[in-house]
Amino acid sequence: MDEALAKKLRILADAAKYDASCSSSGAPKRTAGKGELGSTTGAGICHAYTPDGRCISLLKILLTNYCLFDCAYCVNRRSSNVSRAKFTVEEVVTLTVEFYKRNYIEGLFLSSGIIKSPDHTMELLTRVAKSLRRDHGFRGYIHLKSIPEASPWLIEEAGLYADRLSINVELPTEKSLETLAPEKNGAVIENAIQQIGERIVEAKAEKRRFSPAGQSTQVIVGADTTTDEALMRKSALLYGSFNLKRVYYSAFSPIPDGSTILPLKSPPLQREHRLYQGDWLLRYYGFTPDDVADATEDGMFALDVDPKLAWALKHRAHFPLDVNRADREWLLRVPGLGARAVDKIIRARRHTRLRLDDVARLTSGLKRARPFLIAADYHPGGGLTDRLDLRARLADPPKQLSLF
Amino acid sequence: MREVDPMRSDASSAIALREGADLSGFRAAVRRLAAAGIPPERVIWSVGEAPGLFGAREPETEAPPLALPRGVGDLVTRVVPHRDPERYALLYTLVWRVLHGERRLLEVSSDPLVHRLERMAKAIARDLHKMHAFLRFRRVEGEEPERFVAWFEPDHHILEAAAPFFVGRFRSLHWTILTPEGSARWNTAELTFGPPGRREDAPAEDGFEAGWRDYYESTFNPARTNLAAMRAEMPKKYWRNLPETAAIPGLVRAAATRTETMIERVPRPAIKRDPVRAVAAMADQAPDSLEALNALIRRSEPLVPGATQAVLGEGPPGAAIAFVGEQPGDQEDRQGRPFVGPAGQLLSRAMAEAGIVRADAYLTNAVKHFKFEQRGKRRLHQNPTAGEVSHYRWWLERELDLVAPRLVVALGATAVLALAGRAIPVTRARGPAEFGRGYAGFITVHPSYLLRLPEGAKEEAYAAFVADLRRVGDLARTLAA
């Protein structure tokens, strides 16, 4: 690989890394036919982990980090003084194919700064995906970050080649967008998300290929004053009305050459973690947005207990629950019991009466679960469930999750 | 429940299986043991004394297959590659219990044996997953066609289980995977297993590894350093075979300083001037003339299967009447012009009879490409689906905005769907219509419908179509006034 290309790769990987999503999941399983290269596995594969603990699944790069927009949180805003570079379509294709052949990656996650016009930029992104599929028989994963300001027909075309299209909401409120991302418009973003959503639903019904792994989005956390509750309600809306597959939460992180209107600070990683937990409660644990809101204090999740535990501590009257009798929906509310553990409990108790030792073999969260459940040989006694210091006993020891 | 022969209940047996994951040997042994009614505590399992991977196994007496719940067979297959020497004994105990009254034992995940076997299966799944993830190919320099070799050290005996994944992924490549226990080779047609390899048998470097390390370093965010999370997913034991991990110590050392520097740095004003004009120009990207729109349509990929070229609308901008059909047909696709096939000719005739000058009207289609299926030499017209019609809707809307007719005529159901955004039965809605975009609308049948009618019905339908077109002409004149 020549040095000029390597230099571009360094700049344009650095410029792309603040996008949280790297997942290669959700595509229908497929394998390479004769003369083809690539497959998808359904759940996706993480090929490496960097010291930030995040997975490298896709080659996540920008086509270019030149950008006409001036979003304060973004390292690539036009007023930033970072080094700039631009790949050609062929260079991105070559990097993807060669990295893929060496089993470094699952595929490509391509995004771009806005150059010339949103349409021009979107066309370039689509050309990369098209060339991979057409000229190289590439069957690996392709995720295109769509440009919401691009004309609808260009987004439609992109969906023919990509496994996943995504558009970043970036900031949860119109007001924050106005202040921090003056060229962006919340309504335009929502329209584009809706358009993609409609096309995905239609294509599924008609058994055609259009962004088969669905669409995802990213919200930046900590750059504005939006509360966790507002973020969760926004996500519930995106999942419900817009049919999104994933909402990613990205703790606003220091960037080289920060903006004058948005001071830099350490990223709120623990908060980000709690938001993901809240998100899971919405998607897999039958929590309504109101339930999740109920797990917050003044709209914010506690940092030392997870949202499910916070909810249970507020609703102790519902507990303890008998693992041998309680409904699935209630077992899902027991802190420390994951959805998979709950399913195992329900399957096993058809054949046997579960004792505490049995439950211990089904979950790794028994310490948190104990005060909230009853087993064949175990009862926490009124005392434990209602103890005033229960929260303190179950809370995470204080620690700084971010650095070392 | 299987009867245990009381005469044999005190028999015992020593079973020797080959090294590695001897699934077929284990299966045969289980069948014999179960048939002989030998309980697990009377079986002694050993590994390695039997002929090895590439030797012949001595013929064994065949016992009939056992009827086991599917999950049990699956679990056996998943656990056999585990390196724990107890695996066969544990699995046989499971089979025995399932055959002796605990048919649904696998559903009891809390049972200590099931729990242990599930954890072993999980360990195998993880080992497989990590092999799929962390194996790195290096290209053998100078060889054509290109050939790739990888060295990998799995925890368990999983080479055979792991190889199909690489076939499905790298089908068009020649590759070899070397492990301390055996090797796998793919030549784009056939997968073969061979003797163990050595690390030195794989190339020592690869032309893209430096670039990959660059990528690894650049994609790391120092402000989020979290070594525990990295190690949990990528344990150190894998590092020596991963080219990118050489970068880790340096990245970690510099992380804290890099982050502090970023936070403490005073924001600098932009060195470059604000590109005011470029930003303003950006908002103005939508095609502003029919030519620009047509150029865009022409260079876009068909959004339906088939189609040799885009068939664009035809007629003077500013035409009073625009006719919208379904999609180009065989003739239109060949000639690249709308309404030139049999249906188009019929439309021309009807227009002439109704007093509409075709050259003064604008003619286009809801879908700009011919969707067809090749059957021998014939290209059979296929109806566009609702989704495909919506794909093209944006172009049609923009096109009509630019032509700016006073009246838009929808010919047939597809045109109605495209213009109204929802399906409306043509027979019921025939006549003036509202499409909600600044121009008047009119709905009638598509001329190809007339061509398909049986002889007797044709004439009447054609007359009705001409009558519709007369109303269209009248309506356009009224709107002009």
B263 interaction partners in chain A (CB closer than 8 Å): 254, 264-266
With CB atoms and an 8 Å threshold, state whether B251 touches A51.
yes
Rounded distance, CA A398 to CA A402, Å? 12
Residue A362 CA, chain-centre distance (Å), reads 27
Q: Which is it for the CA torsion B289, B291, B292, B294, positive or negative?
A: positive
DSSP secondary structure letter of residue B320: S
B367 in contact with A, Cβ within 8 Å: no
Cα–Cα nearest to A52, from B234, B206, B107: B234
CB contact under 8 A, B172 and A352: no
Q: Identify the weakest region by mean pLDDT among A176-180, A188-192, A383-387, B329-333.
A: A383-387
A401 touches chain B (CB under 8 A): yes
Question: How distant is the Cα of B322 from the closest Cα of chain A, in angstroms?
Answer: 22
| Alpha-helix runs per DSSP H in B150-203 | 159-169
Judge residue B305's burial from the number of C-beta atoms within 10 Å of its C-beta, 0-12 exposed, 13-18 middle, 19 or more buried.
middle
One-character DSSP codes across B423-435: ---HHHH-EEEE-
Is A266 an 8 Å CB contact of chain B?
yes
Asked whether B268 and B334 are in contact (CB, 8 A), the reply is no
Closest chain A residue to B276, measured at CA: A68
Residues of chain A contacting B230 with CB distance shorter than 8 Å: 49-53
What pTM did the predictor assign?
Answer: 0.90
Are residues A17 and B148, on separate chains, in Cβ contact within 8 Å?
no
Q: Specify the pLDDT at position A391.
A: 87
Q: Is B148 on the interface with A (CB under 8 A)?
A: yes
Cβ neighbourhood burial of A51 (10 Å; 0-12, 13-18, 19+): buried
Chain B residues within 8 A of A36 when measuring between CB atoms = 171-172
B301 contacts A158 by C-beta, under 8 angstroms: no
Of B171, B220, B242, the CB nearest to A52: B220
Q: What is the DSSP letter of A28?
A: P
Residue of A nearest to B207 (CA): A1
Task: Name the residue facing A32 among B169, B216, B263 (closest C-beta).
Answer: B169
Residue in A closest to B249 by C-alpha:
A51
Q: What is the Cβ-side half-sphere exposure of residue B434, based on CA atoms within 13 angstroms?
A: 1
Is residue B313 within 8 A of residue B363, CB to CB? The reply is yes
CB contact under 8 A, B224 and A52: yes
Is residue A141 a contact partner of residue A166, using CB atoms and an 8 Å limit? no
Query: What is the rounded distance in angstroms from the CA atom of residue A205 to the CA atom of residue A196?
Result: 14
Q: Which of A307, A309, A311 is nearest to A231 (CA)?
A: A307
Peptide bond just before A320 cis, omega within 30 deg: yes
Kind of pairing, strands B372-375 and B407-411?
A: unpaired
Residue with tokens 């105990």: B93
Q: With contacts defined as CB-CB under 8 Å, which chain B residues touch A101? A: 137, 139, 146, 148, 170, 173
Instruction: Give the whole-angstrom CA distance, residue A25 versus residue B68.
Output: 33
Q: Mark yes or no for CB contact B172/A52 under 8 Å.
A: no
What's the complex ipTM?
0.94
Task: Please give the sequence-ordered ranges of beta strands (E in DSSP) within B180-236, or none if there are none.
Answer: 183-186, 191-194
Quote the crossing angle between the two packed helices B159-169 and B112-134, to the nearest 10°. Answer: 40
Closest-CA residue to A124 (of A140, A137, A113): A113
Query: What is the spatial distance between Cα B182 and Cα B20, in angstroms, rounded to a whole number?
Result: 10
- Centroid of chain to Cα B413: 32
B20: three-class secondary structure by DSSP: coil
Task: Give residue A226's identity as a one-letter amino acid code.
Answer: T
Q: Domains in chain B and their CATH numbers?
A: 13-129 (no CATH), 135-201 (no CATH), 209-260 (no CATH), 290-480 (3.40.470.10)
Interface with chain A: mutation pick from B171, B173, B396, highest number of A CBs within 10 Å: B171
Convert the pLDDT of each residue in B417-428 to its tens digit.
999 988 999 989
Helix (H, G, I), strand (E, B) or coil at B190: coil
A87-111 residue pLDDT tens: 999 999 999 999 999 999 999 999 9
Residues 222-251 of B with CB under 8 A from A: 222-230, 232-234, 242, 244, 248, 251
d(CA A109, CA A56): 11
* 3-class DSSP assignment, residue A288: coil
Contact residues on chain A for B210, CB-CB shorter than 8 A: 1, 6
The β-bridge relationship of strands B43-47 and B13-17 is parallel
Across the interface, do B224 and A251 touch by the CB < 8 Å criterion? yes
Spell out which residues of chain A touch residue B138, defining contact as CB-CB under 8 Å. Answer: 102
Domains of chain A (ranges; CATH) run 3-267 (3.20.20.70), 307-394 (no CATH)
Query: In 3-state terms, what secondary structure has residue B65?
Result: coil
Distances, alpha carbon B58 to alpha carbons B25, B49, B55, in Å: 11, 12, 9
Minimal C-alpha gap between A104 and chain B (Å):
7
Residues of A in contact with B391 (CB under 8 A): 153, 156, 199
Q: C-alpha B205: how far from its chain's center?
A: 32
Chain B stretch 88-117, residues whose beta carbon is closer than 8 A to a beta carbon of chain A: 104, 107-112, 115
Q: Pick B387's closest partner by Cβ from A11, A203, A257.
A: A203
Task: Name B475's Cβ contacts closer than 8 Å, sequence gap at least 6.
Answer: B407, B432, B440, B442
Is the CB of B136 less than 8 angstroms away from the CB of A103? Answer: yes
What gap in Å lies between CA B44 and CA B453, rounded to an integer?
A: 82
The amino acid that residue A190 corresponds to is E
CA distances from B26 to A287, B30, B112, B383, B432 (A): 47, 6, 22, 57, 78
Residues of B with CB below 8 A from A122's CB? none
Q: Nearest CA to A301 among A364, A368, A249, A244?
A: A249
B356 in helix, strand or coil? coil
Which residues share a beta bridge with A312? none
- CB-CB under 8 Å, A354 with B394: no
> CB neighbours (10 Å) of residue B46?
12
The closest of B444, B417, B430 to B321, measured between CA atoms, is B444
**Rounded CA gap, B409 and B472, in Å?**
8
A5 vs B contacts (CB less than 8 Å):
211
The rounded distance, in Å, linking the Cα atoms of B393 and B387 is: 10
Grouping H, G, I as helix, E, B as strand and the rest as coil, residue A335 is: coil
Give yes or no for a contact between B130 and B32, defined as CB atoms under 8 angstroms apart.
Answer: no
Give the span between the Cα atoms of B412 and B346, in whole angstroms.
Answer: 14
Three-class secondary structure of residue B261 per DSSP:
helix
Contact B6/B37 with Cβ under 8 angstroms? Answer: no
Q: Average pLDDT over chain A, rounded to whole?
A: 92
Residue A144's H or E segment, with its range, is strand A141-145
For B266-276, the pLDDT digits (tens) are: 888 877 667 77
Q: Which two tokens stand for residue A338?
A: 């994951």
> By the CB < 8 Å criterion, does A92 face chain B?
no
Tokens 């697990």 locate to B40
* B300 lies within 8 A of chain A by CB: yes
What parts of chain B have a pLDDT lower than 50? 1-4, 6-7, 9, 50-58
Interchain CB contact of A67 with B (< 8 Å)? no
Which chain B residues are closer than 8 Å to A267 by Cβ?
223-224
Q: For residue A287, give how far its alpha carbon lies from the nearest alpha carbon of chain B (Å).
A: 26
Q: What SS3 string covers A64-112?
A: ECCCCCCCCCCCCCCCCCCCCCECCHHHHHHHHHHHHHCCCCCEEEEEC
Token pair 């049609």 in the structure block, residue? B396
Note the pLDDT tens digit of each residue in A304-353: 999 999 999 999 999 999 999 999 999 999 999 999 999 999 999 999 99
Mutate to test the interface with B, among A104, A110, A211, A349 (most CBs of B within 10 A): A104
pLDDT of residue A312: 95
Phi, psi (deg, nearest 5) at residue B403: -75, -35
pLDDT at A402: 45
Contact status, residue A215 vs residue A244, Cβ threshold 8 Å: yes
Report whether B161 contacts B81 (CB < 8 A).
Answer: yes
Burial class (CB in 10 A: 0-12, 13-18, 19+), A332: buried
Distance CA A136, CA A339 (A): 41
Share of chain A above pLDDT 70, in %: 98
A30-39, A275-284, B264-273, B363-372: least confidently modelled range: B264-273
Position A398 scores a pLDDT of: 65
Residue type, B466: V
Please give the average per-residue pLDDT across A147-174, as a whole number.
91
- Contact partners, residue A323, CB within 8 Å, separation at least 6: A331, A345, A349, A354, A359, A373, A374, A375
Cis peptide before B145 (omega within 30 of 0): yes
Q: Helix, strand, or coil here: A150?
A: coil
Count helices and strands (H / E) in chain B. 17, 14
B300 contacts A114? CB cut-off 8 A: no
CB B362 within 8 A of CB B405: yes
Strand B183-186 with B191-194, pairing: antiparallel
The token pair at B350 is 């009807």
As a whole number of angstroms, the longest Cα–Cα distance in chain A is 70
Nearest to B267 among A35, A95, A258 (CB): A258
Residue B54: per-residue pLDDT: 43
Look at B218 and A13 and tell me if their CB atoms are within 8 Å.
yes
- Who among A51, A119, A258 is closest to B285 (CB)? A119
Q: What is the pLDDT of residue B4?
A: 47
Q: Which of B285, B369, B388, B422 to mutate to test the interface with A (most CBs of A within 10 A)?
A: B285
Among A160, A265, A266, the residue with its CB nearest the CB of B301 is A160
User: What pLDDT, on a 0 to 100 scale, did the predictor assign at position A168?
Assistant: 92
Q: What single-letter DSSP state applies at residue B174?
A: E
